[in-house]
Amino acid sequence: MDNPKFFVTSIERGAYHDGPGLRTVVFFQGCPLHCAWCCNPETQPFRPVLLHDGRRCVACGNCVPHCPQQALSLREGRLHVDRSRCISCGRCVPVCPGGAYSLSSEIMSSEEILAVVMKDADYYRATGGGLTLSGGEPFCQQGVEVLLSQAKQAGLTTCVETTAALSYKVLESVLPYVDFFYIDLKHSDRDVLLRETGADLDLVTSNIGKLMDDGANVTLRTAVIPGYNDDLPTLRSIFHLALALGVTTYVLLPFHQLGRAKYAKLGQPYTLEHLKTLTPEDMSEAAALGRRMGLDIRIGG
Protein backbone atom coordinates (compact mmCIF):
# COMPACT_ATOMS: atom_id res chain seq x y z
CA MET A 1 0.00 0.00 0.00
CA ASP A 2 2.11 2.87 -1.23
CA ASN A 3 -0.70 5.28 -2.03
CA PRO A 4 -3.38 4.66 0.60
CA LYS A 5 -6.68 6.51 0.45
CA PHE A 6 -8.37 8.40 3.24
CA PHE A 7 -11.61 10.15 4.05
CA VAL A 8 -10.40 13.73 4.45
CA THR A 9 -12.86 16.23 5.91
CA SER A 10 -10.72 19.28 5.27
CA ILE A 11 -7.21 20.61 4.78
CA GLU A 12 -6.23 23.82 6.50
CA ARG A 13 -3.15 25.66 5.24
CA GLY A 14 -1.18 28.27 7.11
CA ALA A 15 -2.29 26.96 10.51
CA TYR A 16 -0.31 28.14 13.51
CA HIS A 17 -2.01 26.52 16.49
CA ASP A 18 -1.36 22.86 15.74
CA GLY A 19 2.33 22.31 16.26
CA PRO A 20 5.43 24.40 15.69
CA GLY A 21 5.72 26.83 12.78
CA LEU A 22 3.27 27.23 9.95
CA ARG A 23 1.54 23.96 9.20
CA THR A 24 -0.94 22.27 6.98
CA VAL A 25 -3.51 20.39 9.02
CA VAL A 26 -5.28 17.41 7.47
CA PHE A 27 -8.53 16.45 9.18
CA PHE A 28 -9.72 12.84 8.92
CA GLN A 29 -13.10 11.19 9.17
CA GLY A 30 -13.72 8.87 12.13
CA CYS A 31 -13.13 8.97 15.86
CA PRO A 32 -13.61 6.35 18.56
CA LEU A 33 -14.75 8.95 21.11
CA HIS A 34 -17.94 10.99 21.36
CA CYS A 35 -17.15 14.15 23.36
CA ALA A 36 -20.17 16.42 23.73
CA TRP A 37 -18.02 19.52 23.12
CA CYS A 38 -16.46 18.18 19.94
CA CYS A 39 -16.25 21.11 17.52
CA ASN A 40 -15.93 18.82 14.50
CA PRO A 41 -18.84 16.43 15.12
CA GLU A 42 -19.01 15.54 11.42
CA THR A 43 -15.66 13.81 11.82
CA GLN A 44 -16.93 11.34 14.46
CA PRO A 45 -18.52 8.73 12.16
CA PHE A 46 -16.12 6.58 10.14
CA ARG A 47 -17.99 7.22 6.90
CA PRO A 48 -18.86 10.53 5.25
CA VAL A 49 -22.05 12.10 6.51
CA LEU A 50 -24.42 14.58 4.88
CA LEU A 51 -24.51 18.12 6.19
CA HIS A 52 -27.50 20.29 5.41
CA ASP A 53 -27.15 24.01 6.08
CA GLY A 54 -30.61 25.32 6.90
CA ARG A 55 -29.44 28.91 6.49
CA ARG A 56 -28.66 28.31 2.83
CA CYS A 57 -31.78 26.21 2.14
CA VAL A 58 -34.72 28.01 0.57
CA ALA A 59 -36.87 24.85 0.56
CA CYS A 60 -37.17 24.88 -3.22
CA GLY A 61 -37.43 21.10 -3.27
CA ASN A 62 -34.99 20.68 -6.17
CA CYS A 63 -33.15 18.00 -4.25
CA VAL A 64 -36.14 15.84 -3.31
CA PRO A 65 -36.49 13.82 -6.53
CA HIS A 66 -32.74 13.29 -6.77
CA CYS A 67 -32.53 11.26 -3.55
CA PRO A 68 -32.53 7.52 -4.34
CA GLN A 69 -33.42 6.75 -0.72
CA GLN A 70 -36.42 9.07 -0.43
CA ALA A 71 -34.65 10.56 2.57
CA LEU A 72 -35.56 14.14 1.60
CA SER A 73 -38.99 15.67 1.93
CA LEU A 74 -40.64 19.07 2.11
CA ARG A 75 -42.95 19.58 5.04
CA GLU A 76 -44.57 22.83 6.05
CA GLY A 77 -42.17 24.82 3.92
CA ARG A 78 -39.07 23.19 5.37
CA LEU A 79 -36.75 20.56 4.07
CA HIS A 80 -36.34 17.44 6.19
CA VAL A 81 -33.52 14.94 5.99
CA ASP A 82 -34.42 11.48 7.25
CA ARG A 83 -31.07 10.46 8.66
CA SER A 84 -32.14 6.85 9.02
CA ARG A 85 -32.53 6.62 5.26
CA CYS A 86 -29.62 8.76 4.07
CA ILE A 87 -26.67 6.78 2.72
CA SER A 88 -24.48 9.85 2.05
CA CYS A 89 -24.44 9.22 -1.70
CA GLY A 90 -24.17 12.97 -2.26
CA ARG A 91 -26.58 13.19 -5.20
CA CYS A 92 -28.35 16.11 -3.56
CA VAL A 93 -25.13 18.12 -3.31
CA PRO A 94 -24.72 19.40 -6.90
CA VAL A 95 -28.41 20.11 -7.53
CA CYS A 96 -28.95 22.57 -4.68
CA PRO A 97 -28.97 26.18 -5.94
CA GLY A 98 -28.03 27.54 -2.56
CA GLY A 99 -25.23 25.09 -1.88
CA ALA A 100 -26.93 23.90 1.31
CA TYR A 101 -25.64 20.32 1.10
CA SER A 102 -22.18 18.97 1.51
CA LEU A 103 -20.59 15.64 2.35
CA SER A 104 -18.36 15.73 5.36
CA SER A 105 -15.36 14.26 3.58
CA GLU A 106 -13.92 13.25 0.28
CA ILE A 107 -11.53 10.48 -0.60
CA MET A 108 -7.96 11.56 -1.12
CA SER A 109 -4.87 9.46 -1.64
CA SER A 110 -1.71 10.12 0.30
CA GLU A 111 -0.17 11.37 -2.94
CA GLU A 112 -2.96 13.89 -3.41
CA ILE A 113 -2.74 15.00 0.20
CA LEU A 114 1.00 15.49 -0.03
CA ALA A 115 0.67 17.40 -3.28
CA VAL A 116 -1.39 20.00 -1.41
CA VAL A 117 0.83 19.91 1.64
CA MET A 118 4.05 20.39 -0.32
CA LYS A 119 2.81 23.65 -1.83
CA ASP A 120 3.86 25.30 1.41
CA ALA A 121 7.25 23.61 1.67
CA ASP A 122 9.04 26.98 1.65
CA TYR A 123 6.99 28.17 4.61
CA TYR A 124 7.72 24.99 6.58
CA ARG A 125 11.42 25.33 5.96
CA ALA A 126 11.41 28.92 7.15
CA THR A 127 9.29 28.36 10.24
CA GLY A 128 10.05 24.81 11.29
CA GLY A 129 6.51 23.87 10.32
CA GLY A 130 5.13 20.90 8.45
CA LEU A 131 2.25 18.48 8.36
CA THR A 132 -0.25 17.98 11.18
CA LEU A 133 -2.80 15.18 11.16
CA SER A 134 -6.01 15.77 13.06
CA GLY A 135 -9.58 14.78 12.95
CA GLY A 136 -11.28 12.65 13.95
CA GLU A 137 -8.63 10.28 15.13
CA PRO A 138 -5.80 10.13 12.60
CA PHE A 139 -4.54 6.80 13.96
CA CYS A 140 -7.83 5.13 13.11
CA GLN A 141 -7.02 5.65 9.43
CA GLN A 142 -5.76 2.65 7.52
CA GLY A 143 -2.42 3.54 5.95
CA VAL A 144 -1.70 6.60 8.05
CA GLU A 145 1.82 5.30 8.72
CA VAL A 146 2.47 5.35 4.96
CA LEU A 147 1.35 8.98 4.71
CA LEU A 148 3.52 9.89 7.69
CA SER A 149 6.58 8.10 6.38
CA GLN A 150 6.15 9.77 2.98
CA ALA A 151 5.90 13.15 4.70
CA LYS A 152 9.14 12.42 6.56
CA GLN A 153 10.81 11.36 3.33
CA ALA A 154 9.73 14.67 1.86
CA GLY A 155 11.56 16.39 4.69
CA LEU A 156 8.54 17.59 6.64
CA THR A 157 8.12 17.75 10.38
CA THR A 158 5.07 15.78 11.42
CA CYS A 159 2.63 16.30 14.22
CA VAL A 160 -0.40 14.18 15.11
CA GLU A 161 -3.31 15.28 17.27
CA THR A 162 -4.59 12.10 18.84
CA THR A 163 -6.87 10.84 21.57
CA ALA A 164 -4.32 8.07 22.30
CA ALA A 165 -7.38 5.94 23.00
CA LEU A 166 -6.14 3.05 20.93
CA SER A 167 -3.73 0.16 20.96
CA TYR A 168 -0.12 1.08 21.63
CA LYS A 169 0.91 -1.10 18.72
CA VAL A 170 -0.47 1.55 16.39
CA LEU A 171 1.42 4.34 18.14
CA GLU A 172 4.57 2.28 18.24
CA SER A 173 4.40 1.62 14.53
CA VAL A 174 4.44 5.34 13.69
CA LEU A 175 7.08 6.39 16.20
CA PRO A 176 9.82 6.84 13.57
CA TYR A 177 7.58 9.14 11.52
CA VAL A 178 6.03 11.42 14.14
CA ASP A 179 7.93 14.38 15.53
CA PHE A 180 5.25 15.71 17.82
CA PHE A 181 2.36 13.95 19.53
CA TYR A 182 -0.42 16.29 20.69
CA ILE A 183 -2.52 14.16 23.02
CA ASP A 184 -5.81 15.09 24.65
CA LEU A 185 -5.99 14.56 28.39
CA LYS A 186 -9.61 15.35 28.95
CA HIS A 187 -10.14 14.32 32.55
CA SER A 188 -8.42 12.52 35.39
CA ASP A 189 -11.47 10.68 36.66
CA ARG A 190 -11.81 7.27 35.06
CA ASP A 191 -15.63 7.14 35.29
CA VAL A 192 -16.30 10.69 34.19
CA LEU A 193 -13.97 10.31 31.21
CA LEU A 194 -15.61 7.09 30.12
CA ARG A 195 -19.12 8.47 30.55
CA GLU A 196 -18.52 11.80 28.76
CA THR A 197 -16.14 10.75 26.01
CA GLY A 198 -16.02 6.97 25.83
CA ALA A 199 -12.28 6.94 26.50
CA ASP A 200 -10.50 4.51 28.77
CA LEU A 201 -8.26 6.55 31.08
CA ASP A 202 -5.94 3.67 31.79
CA LEU A 203 -5.39 3.06 28.11
CA VAL A 204 -4.74 6.72 27.43
CA THR A 205 -2.33 7.19 30.33
CA SER A 206 -0.52 3.97 29.68
CA ASN A 207 -0.02 5.01 26.06
CA ILE A 208 1.30 8.40 27.09
CA GLY A 209 3.69 6.72 29.54
CA LYS A 210 4.95 4.32 26.90
CA LEU A 211 5.44 7.12 24.38
CA MET A 212 7.49 8.99 26.96
CA ASP A 213 9.51 5.87 27.67
CA ASP A 214 10.12 5.47 23.97
CA GLY A 215 11.43 9.03 23.75
CA ALA A 216 8.50 10.58 21.90
CA ASN A 217 7.95 14.34 22.01
CA VAL A 218 4.58 14.64 23.75
CA THR A 219 2.45 17.70 24.38
CA LEU A 220 -0.71 17.22 26.42
CA ARG A 221 -3.79 19.28 25.76
CA THR A 222 -6.94 19.83 27.74
CA ALA A 223 -10.04 21.41 26.30
CA VAL A 224 -11.34 23.27 29.33
CA ILE A 225 -15.11 22.80 29.46
CA PRO A 226 -17.28 24.66 31.98
CA GLY A 227 -18.92 22.26 34.40
CA TYR A 228 -16.86 19.34 33.22
CA ASN A 229 -13.23 20.00 34.01
CA ASP A 230 -12.84 23.73 34.55
CA ASP A 231 -12.72 23.68 38.35
CA LEU A 232 -9.30 24.02 39.85
CA PRO A 233 -9.38 20.73 41.82
CA THR A 234 -10.10 18.79 38.62
CA LEU A 235 -7.44 20.68 36.69
CA ARG A 236 -4.97 20.15 39.54
CA SER A 237 -5.64 16.48 39.38
CA ILE A 238 -5.23 16.40 35.58
CA PHE A 239 -1.95 18.32 35.91
CA HIS A 240 -0.76 15.83 38.54
CA LEU A 241 -1.46 13.04 36.15
CA ALA A 242 0.55 14.77 33.44
CA LEU A 243 3.49 15.29 35.76
CA ALA A 244 3.32 11.69 36.91
CA LEU A 245 3.59 10.64 33.27
CA GLY A 246 6.66 12.81 32.89
CA VAL A 247 5.08 15.36 30.54
CA THR A 248 5.62 19.04 31.14
CA THR A 249 4.55 20.63 27.86
CA TYR A 250 0.93 21.56 28.21
CA VAL A 251 -1.75 23.40 26.28
CA LEU A 252 -5.07 24.63 27.64
CA LEU A 253 -7.80 25.08 25.05
CA PRO A 254 -10.57 27.40 26.25
CA PHE A 255 -14.09 26.20 25.41
CA HIS A 256 -15.73 27.85 22.40
CA GLN A 257 -19.03 27.56 20.57
CA LEU A 258 -17.62 27.47 17.03
CA GLY A 259 -18.83 23.91 16.45
CA ARG A 260 -22.46 24.65 17.26
CA ALA A 261 -23.63 25.27 13.69
CA LYS A 262 -22.31 21.90 12.61
CA TYR A 263 -24.64 20.03 14.96
CA ALA A 264 -27.59 21.74 13.30
CA LYS A 265 -26.24 20.76 9.87
CA LEU A 266 -26.02 17.16 11.02
CA GLY A 267 -29.51 17.24 12.49
CA GLN A 268 -28.06 16.40 15.89
CA PRO A 269 -28.90 17.97 19.22
CA TYR A 270 -26.28 20.29 20.65
CA THR A 271 -26.26 20.08 24.40
CA LEU A 272 -23.77 22.79 25.33
CA GLU A 273 -25.63 25.83 24.08
CA HIS A 274 -25.91 27.21 27.60
CA LEU A 275 -22.18 27.20 28.25
CA LYS A 276 -20.18 30.39 28.24
CA THR A 277 -17.33 30.81 25.77
CA LEU A 278 -14.07 31.00 27.67
CA THR A 279 -11.39 33.52 26.87
CA PRO A 280 -7.64 33.15 27.29
CA GLU A 281 -8.01 35.47 30.29
CA ASP A 282 -10.43 32.99 31.86
CA MET A 283 -7.59 30.47 31.72
CA SER A 284 -5.12 32.55 33.64
CA GLU A 285 -5.81 31.06 37.04
CA ALA A 286 -5.60 27.52 35.72
CA ALA A 287 -2.44 28.37 33.81
CA ALA A 288 -0.88 29.89 36.91
CA LEU A 289 -1.74 26.76 38.87
CA GLY A 290 -0.16 24.53 36.24
CA ARG A 291 2.96 26.67 36.12
CA ARG A 292 3.32 26.55 39.89
CA MET A 293 3.13 22.80 39.64
CA GLY A 294 5.99 22.79 37.14
CA LEU A 295 4.20 22.59 33.81
CA ASP A 296 5.12 24.68 30.80
CA ILE A 297 1.65 25.96 29.94
CA ARG A 298 0.43 27.63 26.74
CA ILE A 299 -3.10 28.82 26.21
CA GLY A 300 -4.91 28.20 22.94
CA GLY A 301 -2.97 26.03 20.55
Among the residue ranges 15-23, 32-40, 158-166, 221-229, the one whose residues contact another protein (CB under 8 A): 15-23
Among the residue ranges 70-78, 93-101, 204-212, 240-248, the one whose residues contact another protein (CB under 8 A): 93-101
Largest Cα–Cα separation, the chain: 62
Distance separating alpha carbons of residues 40 and 51, to the nearest angstrom: 12
* Residue length of the chain: 301
Hey, CA dihedral for 287, 291, 295, 301, is it positive or negative?
positive
Question: At its nearest, how many Å lie between another protein and the CB of residue 184?
Answer: 22
DSSP state of 46: S
Distance separating alpha carbons of residues 192 and 149, to the nearest angstrom: 36
Among 62, 88, 206, 217, binds another protein (CB under 8 A): 62
Q: Which is nearer to another protein, 2 or 16 (CB)?
A: 16
61 binds another protein (CB under 8 A): no
φ, ψ of residue 294 in degrees (nearest 5): 110, 10
Among the residue ranges 8-16, 37-45, 64-72, 145-153, the one whose residues contact another protein (CB under 8 A): 8-16
Q: Which is nearer to another protein, 134 or 229 (CB)?
A: 134
Which of these, 184, 195, 288, 274, lies nearest to 236 by C-alpha position? 288
Among 74, 87, 126, 288, binds another protein (CB under 8 A): 126
257 binds another protein (CB under 8 A): no
Question: At its nearest, how many Å lie between another protein and the CB of residue 99?
Answer: 5
21 binds another protein (CB under 8 A): yes
122 binds another protein (CB under 8 A): yes
Crossing angle for the helix pair 144-153 and 110-117, to the nearest 10 degrees:
40
Tell me the three state secondary structure of residue 211.
helix
Distance separating alpha carbons of residues 225 and 240, to the nearest angstrom: 18
279 binds another protein (CB under 8 A): no
Among the residue ranges 68-76, 78-86, 120-128, 134-142, the one whose residues contact another protein (CB under 8 A): 120-128
- C-beta atoms surrounding 38 within 10 Å: 19
Could you list the residues that contact another protein (CB under 8 A)?
12-16, 21-22, 62, 94-99, 119-120, 122-123, 126-127
